[in-house]
Structure 1
């Protein structure tokens, strides 16, 4: 399915049918890293069976979903991942995956039904401080992924106090590898201890502003930063200036099969096994109302796609990811 056809389907689904186009699924509940700033790995949950996932994908296809995104906690730890991606592809769904990359070298040959790959890279020299392992452990997998998926590999960096001085180096690394890169600020979840944020949360506003300004200049110079300038300016100022349309764009499903509001509120609403059509009819309006009343966040997927949903011309011109 071409990008043009995907775009047409997305517009038809979201703007005419007024339904989300992306299914974002927490495909597993275990992780091979225990990052201090993440709480997804701290509580193992019952995972949906392969048969339940296949049924959900059938349902998603009938509903009009065009993209299946597998993420949290570490999707490559799920042995059935290749057959799940294969099944999604058989339904003509675009597939994407978010991974920490530790198992990428080992499993990349199995990912023949993957369209878009995002690898979390929060530093080079500082990577061990953030993730507990050396960056050299994941670099070979990224290099092989770039040769396999060409330009459909994204390095995603969450900006913290630890890596604020490495952002330029990360852009240069992505450029050298032939990958793209995105940035977003760290979201300080209330479930994580305050002393963690005291260590890694961005507290020097002037340093942060200068670092993100540098990213904007690198974006203007043609480096492969996929974020729009509009978004980067909001990150620089740490001020969300966008209207959330996340429920109009994607529907999130947790590991155990619960439909939730969003990554910020994470309120479980319904069981996806009740049928996506039924869930949307019962809870779609409430999710949209929740988004409309939200004070806002700077999760780049929500922000960029919501601005695209409102046909922001600068965002459409610069943003290059699904």
Structure 2
């Protein structure tokens, strides 16, 4: 049963440019403009009208945009839950300007060992993550550590948890790696490794959407009976101010917004393409977390009930439920 029929999340790409070269991502290879404040102001008004509650300012590396603090501040003041993920190379520079404006601030860290993390990211950023944690805590911020899980780094979870997140009173978010297009994420986790990850996710201070684990056990999305609701739950806005459908990773079609996001989203052409969510040939086997998370939240299914405990746990620890009540 569908519980929510309007979009709940916007993935707002401020630029595709990045100062890292992660082995599991190809976005840094793309040329890209930067979004403008005028477009952000208009689009946020339309997102509010469409019922969106969470705006994720993403990239590329979002802190490459010199006005990022203005964007998150504007969205935060309008009552949106704001999220931002960074590799931390620029966070110490922007920390003071971002202070109090990001509800869910994620620092990417994939290993307890500097050499391993930096190799995977293609740039020396491990020390910047540790420095960013120090700076954020001094400012009274509560960032999360976002750990992208591969078979190769599963063994590092214990040390990251024991040596970094627990001593600093941070939430450790487990993000199982996913494949898309020609970007490979290594060998898939085995059933035993999924069991280990599931058990780890039940520890204090750890967030893991259990439905992600179940989806992998089930072989991902299936076009004959799709669980993906990417296009109807999530609006993707490109740095060129386009609405991208059905999701960023497929990017089948891009529609110029031109100041009319609300009208565009409700147009027959966009809704026709949105209706194909999870049903395109490329959607078979998909496990992309950033679209499955909202998909699981809007209709009752086994995935909804499996996702619910961890979602409640995270929102309680981060106190974002208070922001939801005051929207």
How far the C-alpha of 1:46 sits from its partner, in A, is 2.2
Q: 1:134 to 1:28 in 2, by over 3 A?
A: closer
- TM-score, normalization by structure 1: 0.81
Map 1:1-322 onto structure 2 (within 5 A).
Answer: 15=3, 18-112=5-99, 113-125=101-113, 126-131=116-121, 132-146=123-137, 148=139, 151=142, 153-172=143-162, 173-192=164-183, 197=184, 201-202=186-187, 208-220=190-202, 222-235=203-216, 237=217, 239-240=219-220, 243-260=227-244, 261-282=246-267, 283-293=270-280, 294-311=283-300, 312-319=304-311, 320=314
How far the C-alpha of 1:71 sits from its partner, in A, is 0.3
Q: Which has the higher helix share?
A: 1
The question of whether the paired residues in 1 share the 8 Å contact of 2:87 and 2:125 is answered with no
> Could you tell me how far apart the structure 1 residues matched to 2:22 and 2:194 are?
24
Q: 1:129 to 1:218 in 2, by over 3 A?
A: same
- TM-score, normalization by structure 2: 0.80
Q: 1:250 to 1:190 in 2, by over 3 A?
A: closer
> Could you tell me how far apart the structure 2 residues matched to 1:164 and 1:47 are?
35
How far the C-alpha of 1:26 sits from its partner, in A, is 0.5
Runs of 5+ in structure 1 lacking a partner? 1-13
Q: 1:230 to 1:38 in 2, by over 3 A?
A: closer
How far the C-alpha of 1:141 sits from its partner, in A, is 0.4
Superposed CA deviations along residues 162-219 of structure 1, whole A, max 9, x for unmatched, are 4232133333332332222223333334344xxxx4xx6126x5xx444432222223
Runs of 5+ in structure 2 lacking a partner? 321-327
SS in 2 for 1:106: helix
Superposed CA deviations along residues 30-57 of structure 1, whole A, max 9, x for unmatched, are 2111223321111222223221222212
Q: 1:230 to 1:114 in 2, by over 3 A?
A: closer
Aligned residue pair count: 296
The question of whether the paired residues in 1 share the 8 Å contact of 2:54 and 2:83 is answered with yes
Q: 1:284 to 1:29 in 2, by over 3 A?
A: same
